[in-house]
Amino acid sequence: MRLTDEDKSILDGNRGEAARIALSVLVDLGELFDAPELMKVSQVHIDATLYMVEAGLEFAEKMVDWGGTVAVPTSLNPSAIDLQRWEAYRVPAEILDRHKRLEEAYLNMRATPTWTCAPYQHGIVPRFGEQIAWGESNAIAFANSIIGARTNRYADLMDICAAIIGKVPKFGLHLTENRKAGMLIQLNDITSTMLADDAIYPLLGYLLGEMAGDQVAALTGIPKNVKIDSLKGFCAAAASSGAVGLCHLVGITPEAQTLEMCLHGSKPQMVLEITPQAIRRTEEKLRSVKSDGVDLVVCGCPHYSMAELIRLVQLIHGKKVHSSVVFWIFTNRTVYAWIKNNGILADLSAAGVMVFTDGCPLQYPRETWHFNAAMTDSAKFANYCFSQRGLDAVYGSIEDCVETAVRGKIRRKEAPWHLK
């Protein structure tokens, strides 16, 4: 790789040990991918915020000991826990200690305590064409596909290195030629009534992820007036069933206003379609719960927006969560402050809904919560729930989640794609 004089000076240790280590990791990454040089990024989103193993904590603390601070605005993905309401979340002392140490390390690095996996809604939001380095698969897919910013799928710890240096190797989705769609996915027999139902978008995303894998795909047929939260659910699902970093939603993705634009003038190598039958099969796949009972309902994966909380409070108005069910919502600190001020939080609490910030419901403490089955309006959560936590799950709309939480029994409304 061609290195600038500044890069060489950092590698010689002139900006301290943290910067030397961080840059040497980035250079190794660049050499692995034959990148010609490093390039500047304007911001970073760190995904290495969950305590998984001791090594992750040790890496963050070592970087602080060695004088590491972020060189560009840097936001943080969720911790595993609610860092403020950890008592209500029944966080065991040992887990709390690890996460508090991680929190301290990132704050000492001068990262921004966003603690959210939807930083594109409340974080340091990039613009079209901006070169960034983000971790967290749903955020990466959203940044590339919906905003048109440019990032690779940066792995944990690599994101810390990028933040300390403010640069990444020039490769992958940072380059125009690698953003070309090689595959075209079309909607077949999917009606406008189906597309008006918010619950279809995570299912479409899940199917697209399965079809695309790690390839860049173009999807036609998504209406231009689709809600931003539907796109959030779509991207989260696509990046969990496949390794999707970018998919072009034709007419929505800024660099795919037409199909020709994202195919870069060539023909797709493969054309696939999504049908109502495929959507029904996906729903079945996202149900491992065998009986009609659940004891946990989870929304906010990725973190809920203000619009989603308004919808939720409207749906639960006058009702109460069943005594056999725990109903969790996860959101970010900004939205939490708003709903605390405007009374939504009080209404949700009165209905028996527990609202948390900072954390990731997939990482809930199993030592203190003993669930048998969960319902969620997140295809990502339903997809990972059994494989990562051994907990059966079922996907449903937000309406299904509220009704299920209130009745204490699974309720699924008839969706338009069930009738085809």
User: Which of 60, 117, 187, 309 touches ligand F3S (CB under 6 A)?
Assistant: 117
Residues 33-92 that bind ligand F3S (CB under 6 A): 77-78
The C-alpha angle 265, 267, 268, rounded to 5 degrees, equals: 120
Report helix angle 228-241 to 200-212, nearest 10.
Answer: 30
Minimum CB distance to ligand F3S, residue 319 (Å): 25
Joined tokens for residue 159: 């994101």
User: Which of 169, 302, 396, 416 touches ligand F3S (CB under 6 A)?
Assistant: 302
CA 260/CA 276 separation, integer angstroms: 26
Among 161, 159, 169, 174, residue whose Cα is nearest residue 246: 174
Contact call for residue 138 and ligand F3S (CB under 6 A):
yes
Contact call for residue 361 and ligand F3S (CB under 6 A):
yes
Joined tokens for residue 166: 């403010």
User: Which of 184, 274, 362, 379 touches ligand F3S (CB under 6 A)?
Assistant: 362
- β partners of residue 74: 44
Phi, psi dihedral angles at 310 (to 5 degrees): -65, -45
Span from 54-62, 119-127, 358-366, 397-405 in contact with ligand F3S (CB under 6 A): 358-366
Size of residue set near ligand F3S by CB under 6 A = 13
Contact call for residue 309 and ligand F3S (CB under 6 A):
no
When the beta carbons of 22 and 301 are compared against ligand F3S, the nearer one is 301
Contact call for residue 297 and ligand F3S (CB under 6 A):
no
Contact call for residue 301 and ligand F3S (CB under 6 A):
yes
Minimum CB distance to ligand F3S, residue 400 (Å): 18
Per-residue b or e along 59-80, where b marks 16 or more CB atoms closer than 10 Å to that residue's CB:
bbbebbeeebbbbbbbbbbbbb
Minimum CB distance to ligand F3S, residue 358 (Å): 10
Contact call for residue 250 and ligand F3S (CB under 6 A):
no
Among 356, 355, 353, residue whose Cα is nearest residue 319: 353
Span from 37-45, 242-250, 356-364, 409-417 in contact with ligand F3S (CB under 6 A): 356-364
CA 122/CA 300 separation, integer angstroms: 14
Q: State the residue for tokens 């999504």.
A: 274
Span from 189-197, 203-211, 355-363, 399-407 in contact with ligand F3S (CB under 6 A): 355-363
Joined tokens for residue 360: 């990731």
Instruction: Give the Cβ contact number of residue 34 at 10 Å.
Output: 9
Contact call for residue 236 and ligand F3S (CB under 6 A):
yes
CA 305/CA 261 separation, integer angstroms: 31
44-46/74-76 β-pairing: parallel
Contact call for residue 286 and ligand F3S (CB under 6 A):
no
Contact (Cβ atoms closer than 8 angstroms) between residue 247 and residue 237: no
Contact call for residue 380 and ligand F3S (CB under 6 A):
yes
Minimum CB distance to ligand F3S, residue 360 (Å): 3
Minimum CB distance to ligand F3S, residue 313 (Å): 20
When the beta carbons of 79 and 397 are compared against ligand F3S, the nearer one is 79
Among 224, 145, 143, 215, residue whose Cα is nearest residue 181: 215
When the beta carbons of 138 and 404 are compared against ligand F3S, the nearer one is 138
Q: What is the SS3 assignment for 62? A: helix
Contact call for residue 401 and ligand F3S (CB under 6 A):
no
When the beta carbons of 202 and 302 are compared against ligand F3S, the nearer one is 302
Q: Which residues bind ligand F3S (CB under 6 A)?
A: 77-78, 117, 138, 236, 301-302, 330, 360-362, 380-381
